[in-house]
Amino acid sequence: MTRLHDLYAQGQSVWIDYIRRSFLRDGGLQDWLDKGARGVTSNPTIFNKAITGSDDYDDELSRVADSSMTTEEIYRLLALQDIAEAADIERSLWESSCAGDGFVSIEVSPLLAHDTPGTIAEARGIVAELQRPNVMIKVPATPAGIPAIEQLIANGTNVNVTLIFSREAYAAAAEAYIRGLEQRLARNQDISKVASVASVFVSRLDTLADSLLPGLGAPELCGKLALANAKLTYADFEIIFSGERWQRLVDAGARVQRPLWASTGTKNPDYRDTLYVDELVGPHTVNTIPPATLDAVFDHGSTERTIEKGLDEARSDMDKLASLGVSLDDWTDRLLTEGVASFSDAYNALINGIALKRNQLRN
């Protein structure tokens, strides 16, 4: 038994925020699954580092370098190969957990973040091509992403709602999930195998807040707001996924849309390296963890149930922020805008990097 198994005993699944071809083919993923990890997530930044920062993909790139494929099509080929391999490695876990874990997530193009029809079309295309039940499609919680999420859930697609920063965006994502399930149920379609997580980005809020709080005369709030926001979001989760409306879906086989704590690597060296894992342990949650933080959690992370602890302090900290005349919504809106831009930049860098490698590998 490892700390990752102990976290699962508390109701929290650890998913690895990393993918790379050698990690899949050299046994790295299977090793972490054996140690207690229960899923994999990816994003454009991760694929950019994997494809342009290694030679893992050079053989495949050489094979298609002189083809008529566009650079975007080559990226899709490489990425979907990795996602398929990861899904196959995790398939037995998906089956043994009754479709509870064993998922691998891939993001629709961040260039579609404000395009509802485009998001739906790309997600459907990925699902159709992969033909694997344990794939999740990542869709951002933008105003255009929310209706796409509802429609994809209604179509039976597993969705990882990404780039959630505010409690309001979380509530919108949860509502989209519930409405999607209700649409399926109204059509007498199975809802028991449809899965979704709501990815709440944690550390980025502290990174922004900590840069502004001293100037506002509130340095005592540094390092507190991200956890407060996450804990209060979890309290919202407990309310949303209860009551008569939700129970009707449960009776038909529905499973909760689990809060997923994302961006949980500690960016401030003054904070302990497992901070955003240790303080957010609780039932029906996922923590997607980058490799360095995963090593730290495996070595010395805490596995105590902490998600409900400090709620009064969390509310007090948010009240203090409001008393300063600060709108948290302004900060979270900024983080969403920056998040979309960051993923778009990473995607463009990835496409440009593949084009460069392609030219270098041409026969």
Active-site residue set: 138
Residue type, 303: T
What are residue 63's phi and psi, to 5 degrees? Answer: -65, -35
Which residues neighbour 311 within 8 Å (Cβ) at sequence distance 6 or greater? 231, 232, 235
Alpha-carbon distance 219 to 246, whole Å? 41
Which residues neighbour 137 within 8 Å (Cβ) at sequence distance 6 or greater? 105, 106, 107, 108, 123, 126, 127, 152, 157, 158, 159, 160
Alpha-carbon distance 156 to 136, whole Å? 11
User: Angle of helix 167-186 relative to helix 145-154, nearest 10 degrees?
Assistant: 30
Nearest 5°: CA angle at 146, between 145 and 147?
Answer: 95
Alpha-carbon distance 104 to 40, whole Å? 5
On whether the CB atoms of residues 249 and 178 are closer than 8 A, the answer is yes
User: How far does Cα 32 stand from its chain's mean position?
Assistant: 18
On whether the CB atoms of residues 294 and 265 are closer than 8 A, the answer is no
Maximum alpha-carbon separation in the chain: 65
42 φψ region: left (φ > 0), alpha (ψ -120 to 50), beta (else): beta
Residue 191 bridge partners (DSSP): none
